């Protein structure tokens, strides 16, 4: 990739300050950038690196005011971090654009339908009646079970497993080791301490523009569908149980577990290691802090929550202050008890 500052300015709808013809051929962090590199400044704590950076071009926010001379050409945009992410995406696309065709050895059942410009790597297994849309990429050791539908421009990285009848929407990315459509945790107590497996005959539906992290598991529904709505972003190592529904554009961090039949609204932000019980609902726009235990439905929209058991974020901060004071309070109580005993003697 080699671009001029002028070309980048047009792509990002930014304003160029400096030499518009200077070129770059790589992306780099601002503290490590060398000549020929493109970098960005989005966090003020890294401003010190701008003044001695070797980068040829630096993307900055529109309101950035330098306090020292800067050798690099600047491109001013509304949001430097967002703009740089656009360039990362374009660069990523260039790296992967040459991946087309079918490698050997792999297995593709004759009844499957493979779209145009699809890449299927060696050791992939494509079962009967699978449909793969145009431009999708299937990396080594991916397993697609019977009747799976994969949309257009989907990327399934090495080791992804998709069980039967599941649907993956367009422009979705699923990272290595993720399992889509494994059985939900359903067992009936048959008495005498014995459990009987309840067959899980539903599926998983993943809508478009979803990204799912490595080793995340999404269980198939007992009946009906487990549904991941469009634009959802899931981190690594997340467990989503049977018949869960996650609303569009919700973001969930690593090691969170969501129990069966829970409905999570749109535009929620859920931190790492959050535990959510089953058969509840979480309102749109909820912001749930890391390690929170959600044991009841959240019905009010656009509020922040924290703690276990669940409480408002403000109440949680107050509780933390009180907890820190407990040793001091215990000491005062013991002193008071001692004084009372002395007076009673």
Q: Which residues are catalytic?
A: 242
C-beta neighbour count of 268 within 10 angstroms: 24
Residues 6+ apart with CB under 8 A from 236: 175, 213, 214, 215, 216, 254
C-beta neighbour count of 201 within 10 angstroms: 12
Starting from the edge strand earliest in sequence, which strands make up the sheet with 275-276, in order?
Answer: 107-108, 125-126, 143-144, 161-162, 179-182, 217-219, 239-240, 257-258, 275-276, 293-294
DSSP letter at 199 equals P
In whole angstroms, how far apart are CA 87 and each of 5, 32, 189, 220, 222? 13, 18, 54, 36, 42
Question: 3-state SS of 123-175?
Answer: CCEECCCCEECCCCEECCCCEECCCCEECCCCEECCCCEECCCCEECCCCEEC
In whole angstroms, how far apart are CA 48 and each of 28, 72, 78, 133? 16, 14, 21, 47
Q: Which residue has the tokens 């793969």?
A: 132
In whole angstroms, how far apart are CA 323 and each of 149, 307, 318, 330? 52, 13, 9, 11
């Amino acid at each position: 990739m080699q671009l001029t500052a002028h070309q980048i300015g047009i792509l990002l709808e930014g304003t160029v300050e400096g030499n518009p013809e200077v070129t770059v051929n790589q992306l780099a962090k601002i503290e490590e950038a060398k000549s020929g590199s493109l970098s960005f400044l989005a966090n003020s704590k890294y401003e010190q690196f701008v003044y001695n950076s070797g980068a040829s071009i630096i993307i900055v926010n529109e309101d950035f005011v330098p306090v020292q001379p800067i050798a690099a050409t600047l491109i001013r945009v509304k949001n430097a971090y967002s703009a740089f992410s656009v360039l990362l995406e374009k660069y990523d696309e260039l790296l992967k654009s040459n991946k087309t065709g079918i490698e050997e050895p792999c297995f593709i059942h004759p009844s499957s339908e493979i779209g145009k410009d699809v890449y299927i790597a060696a050791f992939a297994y494509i079962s009967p009646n699978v449909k793969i849309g145009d431009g999708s990429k299937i990396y080594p050791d991916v397993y697609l079970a019977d009747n799976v539908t994969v949309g257009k421009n989907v990327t399934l990285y090495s080791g992804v497993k998709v069980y039967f009848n599941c649907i993956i929407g367009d422009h979705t990315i699923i990272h290595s080791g993720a399992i889509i459509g494994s059985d939900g945790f359903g067992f009936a107590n048959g008495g005498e301490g014995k459990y009987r497996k309840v067959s899980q005959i539903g599926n998983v539906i993943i809508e478009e523009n979803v990204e799912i992290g490595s080793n995340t598991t999404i269980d198939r529904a007992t009946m009906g569908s487990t549904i991941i709505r469009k634009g959802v972003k899931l981190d690594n190592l997340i467990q989503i149980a049977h018949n869960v529904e996650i609303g569009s554009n919700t973001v969930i961090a690593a090691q969170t577990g969501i129990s069966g039949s829970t409905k999570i609204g749109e535009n929620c932000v859920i931190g790492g290691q959050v535990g959510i019980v089953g058969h509840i609902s979480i309102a749109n726009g909820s912001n749930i802090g890391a390690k929170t235990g959600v044991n009841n439905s959240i019905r009010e929209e656009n509020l922040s929550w924290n703690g276990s058991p669940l409480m408002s974020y403000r109440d949680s901060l107050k509780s933390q202050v009180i907890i820190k004071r407990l040793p001091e309070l215990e000491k005062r109580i013991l002193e008071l008890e001692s004084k009372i005993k002395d007076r009673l003697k």
